[in-house]
Amino acid sequence: MRVALDAMGGDKAPGPIIAGALQAVTANPEMVVVLVGDQNRIETELAQAATRDRLEIFHASQVIGMEESPVEGLRAKPDNSISRCWQLLAEKRVDAVVSAGSTGAMVAGGLRSRRFLKHVRRPGIATVMPTAKGYSVIIDVGANVTPKPEHLFQYGVMGSIFVRHMLHRPDPKIGLINVGEETSKGHDLVRDTHALFNNSAWKENFRGNIEGRDIHRGAVDVIVTDGFTGNVILKLCEGVFEFIMQMVKRDVIGALTSERDQGAAALKGLLTKYHYSSFGGAPLLGIDGICIVCHGASDDRAICNALGMASEYWKSKLNETIVAELEVNPPGDEE
């Protein structure tokens, strides 16, 4: 498979991005990575590499900054690395695009391309989250901050297929984030989405409303929410995790003397296990092709894992299943 990797995207680009690509092509013998970005800077990084096998360069002279307005950036910088990645996908020169750059620009680039899978109304970003029962997927975490009920319904369907194919759970359960379990809770968006699920072929798999505290208990496999709430959830988890780990380090590890090193090593293990880089990236589901968005602070491990996810995704025929499923179970009325 061929992947376009935004070599300029991310807080630490291009160094760790290219290092991650090197690791990924070594681990995946059938993967070719097209490094999209400033040719000179990429060449400089590659000069030290042991091999350049299955690494290509596609020059892009511009970069959209992390703090830049995505729409402005895409308009003002036509030769930016993100647009070039999407262009390679549109021209079918690659099967997947991966970037740790501006998530907003990646999504806007995808929306602008209008290369959605058949029957998909709006793509959504799915993220794998650790829970007490393994892993769950939450969708959407920021592609669509003002979704319609049909979008959330489709997120549930696409998220379930992702869980089946990628987490190998045959019968995923779906939950809708709300402020309480009762059907009457929340605002129109969640009430209408609740009704859509209950009137669909997915009713059996729909567990109804779930609350914030149910996520990490592993109450469901697929957590459906609007991109505003989902984005807050994702970043809040990061913040709470960071905060509690500091407190544990100070109060618990600090209380130890002879076994302090032992405790600190175990804590470090936990930090590594639940660090975002273990999962690499989050797929933008609903795109005709594969799109993985990565954390802005991605290191080489995160990029390598994101490329690995793209490879798994490609092999799993996820997109074909989504189209087939939405074909037989359309999401209510056309817009």
Site for its own copies, rule CB under 8 A: 67, 69, 104, 130-132, 142, 145-146, 177, 179-182, 184-188, 211-217, 225, 227-229, 231-248, 251-259, 262-263, 265-267, 269-270, 274
State which residue, 217 or 317, has the beta carbon closest to its own copies: 217
CA distance 304 to 5: 11
Amino acid, single-letter form, for residue 287: I
State which residue, 10 or 308, has the beta carbon closest to its own copies: 10
CA distance 280 to 293: 9
**Tokens linked to 39:** 């040719």
Minimum Å gap between C-beta 218 and its own copies is: 9
CA distance 175 to 155: 11
Minimum Å gap between C-beta 103 and its own copies is: 9
State which residue, 202 or 241, has the beta carbon closest to its own copies: 241
Minimum Å gap between C-beta 317 and its own copies is: 32
DSSP 250: I
State which residue, 209 or 305, has the beta carbon closest to its own copies: 209
Query: Under DSSP, is residue 76 helix (H, G, I), strand (E, B) or coil?
Result: helix
State which residue, 114 or 273, has the beta carbon closest to its own copies: 273
Minimum Å gap between C-beta 140 and its own copies is: 11
Strand partners of residue 129? 136
Minimum Å gap between C-beta 179 and its own copies is: 4
Helix axes 260-273, 227-247, angle to 10 degrees: 170
CA distance 98 to 120: 21
State which residue, 1 or 248, has the beta carbon closest to its own copies: 248
State which residue, 38 or 226, has the beta carbon closest to its own copies: 226
Q: Please state the length of the chain.
A: 335
CA distance 60 to 77: 10
Q: Are 294 and 280 contacting, i.e. CB atoms less than 8 angstroms apart?
A: yes
Amino acid, single-letter form, for residue 256: L
Minimum Å gap between C-beta 231 and its own copies is: 4
Query: Under DSSP, is residue 82 helix (H, G, I), strand (E, B) or coil?
Result: helix
C-alpha distance across the termini of the chain, in Å: 35
Minimum Å gap between C-beta 327 and its own copies is: 31
State which residue, 203 or 235, has the beta carbon closest to its own copies: 235
Minimum Å gap between C-beta 39 and its own copies is: 30
286: left (phi over 0), alpha (psi -120 to 50) or beta: left
Tell me how far CA of residue 1 lies from CA of 4, 97, 184, in angstroms. 10, 11, 47
